[in-house]
Amino acid sequence: MTVQTTQVLSESMTKVMTLNTTEEHGVKNRLESFYNDWMEMSFSNGKGFTEWWNQYFAKECPGIIRASGNPLSSQAWCKMISSDNVTYLDRKRNRIVSVDSCLIFADGKAAITVLTADMIFAYNDVKNEDRAKISLTWTKCEHDNQWRIVHFQRATGQPIPAQEEEQ
């Protein structure tokens, strides 16, 4: 490799790293807002679901993939979360534990985030307290320059570690 080629590659890598750092910060901020608004909407028995969905999900997103592996449309999720079958419990403990990865790709126009979240809720009066992995694929929409979700998948949760339950 020539010195000039090395310099061009170095400048290109610096540009990509700067782009990715800036975009990663934007995605993580959007993720935090998404999750906080999700919990707010969930604790209000689904009030504002459609507005929340439209704010954070791309039009191309047909729904979510539940922990069971079954898909759930936005309409079905709204119906479920607004029903008496689902009750979110203990707002303080429903939280993002960690953002495990954030990968920016497609020249800063797409991202994948994986997070770990504690979720405490009752479904059909059966209390669930679990720690789950959630993966989100994002696109940066050209019409408003906002990060929006195109794919949402929640893995089967595991018990929240006992030493952390008391916090």
How many Cα atoms occupy the beta-carbon half-sphere of 94 within 13 Å? 19
Structural domain includes residue 65: yes
CA R_g for the chain = 19
- Residue 5 predicted with pLDDT over 60: no
Instruction: Please count the structural domains in the chain.
Output: 1
Res 4: pLDDT? 60
What is the token pair recorded at 37?
């608004």
Distance CA 119, CA 43 (A): 12
- Please provide the average confidence, as pLDDT, over all residues in the chain: 88
Task: State residue 13's pLDDT score.
Answer: 45
The band of 16, judged by pLDDT with boundaries at 50, 70 and 90, is: very low
pLDDT at 162 over 70: yes
| CA 154 to chain CA centroid, nearest Å | 9
State residue 149's pLDDT score: 98
The whole-number pLDDT of residue 11 equals 53
> 123-148, pLDDT tens digit by residue?
899 999 999 999 999 999 999 999 99
pLDDT above 50: residue 15: no
Q: Does 76 reside within a domain?
A: yes
Q: What is the CATH number of the domain that holds 148?
A: 3.10.450.50
Is 116 inside any structural domain?
yes
Structural domain contains residue 138: yes
Domain for residue 73, yes or no? yes
Q: Give the up-direction half-sphere exposure of residue 80: CA atoms within 13 A in the CB hemisphere.
A: 14
**Is 166 a member of any domain?**
no
Domain of residue 48 covers: 3-161
41-50, 58-67, 156-165 — which is least confidently predicted?
A: 156-165
In a domain? residue 167? no
| pLDDT for residue 19 | 53
